[in-house]
């Protein structure tokens, strides 16, 4: 039982390149989230999904797209990477409500040159 | 809108108690959480408190909630070097969305 896994762990891109980050879970949770973490700013929600086939914008969605084609996977795409997207990206999962809070993956460190 | 604030840094000696403070603004939050992040790792849930509680104790951890002042604190008793990490408080909003504070870096000196 791996919980939440993220691929890749590290990546360096040049400005304008594209890439996709993969989040996979084996806990059968309905909700999945993508956050970015920048120094001194905590985590900010990029996009989230409340179920297979659904996505919604979070606090900082610009420059990112997401897809949830399968319940266990949540993909985060950068179509044209910018240096401002240099960050650590975390995926999280949860059940819909209640005390069962969010469980986080180990993170992906992305650098855009 | 919601805003969660924490001090950036706290340094304590091993064996002392640590108190990490947090203020939030959304009075409708149902739960408030404390997460721990060790270097190079994701966030790990430490504890949470329901908004109708004043205090919750879990082994070395004590959470105090003052709803009137929208103030949340985490006390770690007998702080150890393994407690060195960044601690985030978070409040939940509608639909189980979390708003995080900026994190408090706890440094424990031997």
Q: Which of A28-37, A85-94, B27-36 shows the lowest per-residue confidence on average (mean pLDDT)?
A: B27-36
Give residues with Cβ within 8 angstroms of B52, minimum separation 6. Answer: none
The two tokens of residue B65 are 């909630």
Task: Average the pLDDT over B32-40 and give the result.
Answer: 91
**What is the tens place of the pLDDT at every residue in A63-112?**
999 999 999 999 999 999 999 999 999 999 988 765 567 889 999 999 99
Q: Which of A34-38, A48-52, B2-6 shows the lowest per-residue confidence on average (mean pLDDT)?
A: B2-6
Residues in chain A with CB shorter than 8 Å from the CB of B48 are 99, 101
Q: d(Cα A102, Cα B43) in Å, to the nearest integer?
A: 9
**What is the tens place of the pLDDT at every residue in B70-104?**
999 999 999 999 999 999 999 887 666 788 999 99
Q: d(Cα A33, Cα A91) in Å, to the nearest integer?
A: 6
Residues of B within an 8 Å Cβ radius of A: 4, 8, 31, 33, 40-45, 48, 50, 88, 92, 95-98, 100-103
Give residues with Cβ within 8 angstroms of B68, minimum separation 6. Answer: none
Contact between B42 and A107 using a beta-carbon 8 Å cutoff: yes
Residue A100 CA, chain-centre distance (Å), reads 19
Q: d(Cα A44, Cα A34) in Å, to the nearest integer?
A: 9
For tokens 């959480």, the residue is B33
Helices H / strands E in chain B, number of each? 0, 11
Inter-residue contact A89 to A36 (CB < 8 Å):
yes
Looking at residue B64, its pLDDT comes to 97
Contact between A40 and B8 using a beta-carbon 8 Å cutoff: yes
Which SS3 state, helix, strand or coil, does residue A27 take?
coil
Looking at residue A41, its pLDDT comes to 74
- Counting residues of chain A whose pLDDT is more than 70, the rounded percentage is 94
Of the candidates A41, A58, A106, the beta carbon closest to that of B42 is on A106
Contact status of A58 with chain B (Cβ, < 8 Å): yes
Residue of chain B whose Cα is closest to the Cα of A31:
B96
Model confidence band, residue A58 (pLDDT cutoffs 50, 70, 90): very high
Q: d(Cα A113, Cα B82) in Å, to the nearest integer?
A: 35
Q: Of the candidates A49, A23, A61, A36, which has an alpha carbon nearest to the alpha carbon of residue A112?
A: A36
The two tokens of residue B26 are 């959304």
């Amino acid at each position: 039982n791996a919980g939440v896994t993220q691929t890749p762990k590290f990546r360096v891109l040049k400005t304008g390149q594209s890439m996709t980050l993969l989040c996979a879970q084996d806990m059968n949770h309905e909700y999945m989230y993508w956050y970015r973490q920048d120094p001194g700013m905590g985590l900010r929600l990029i996009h989230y999904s409340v179920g297979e086939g659904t996505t919604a914008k979070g606090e900082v969605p610009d420059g990112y797209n997401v897809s949830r084609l399968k319940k266990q996977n949540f993909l985060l795409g950068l179509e044209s990477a910018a240096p401002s997207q240099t960050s650590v990206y975390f995926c999280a999962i949860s059940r819909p409500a209640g005390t069962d809070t969010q469980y986080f993956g180990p993170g992906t460190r992305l650098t855009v040159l | 809108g919601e805003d969660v604030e924490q001090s950036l840094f706290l340094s304590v000696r091993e064996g002392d108690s640590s108190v990490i403070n947090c203020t939030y603004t959304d009075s409708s939050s149902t739960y408030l959480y404390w997460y721990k992040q060790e270097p190079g790792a994701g966030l790990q849930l430490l504890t949470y408190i329901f908004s109708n509680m004043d205090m919750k104790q879990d082994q070395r951890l004590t959470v105090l909630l003052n709803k009137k002042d929208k103030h949340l604190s985490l006390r770690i008793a007998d702080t150890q070097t393994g407690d060195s990490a960044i601690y985030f408080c978070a409040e939940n909003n509608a639909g189980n969305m979390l708003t995080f504070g900026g994190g408090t870096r706890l440094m424990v000196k031997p």
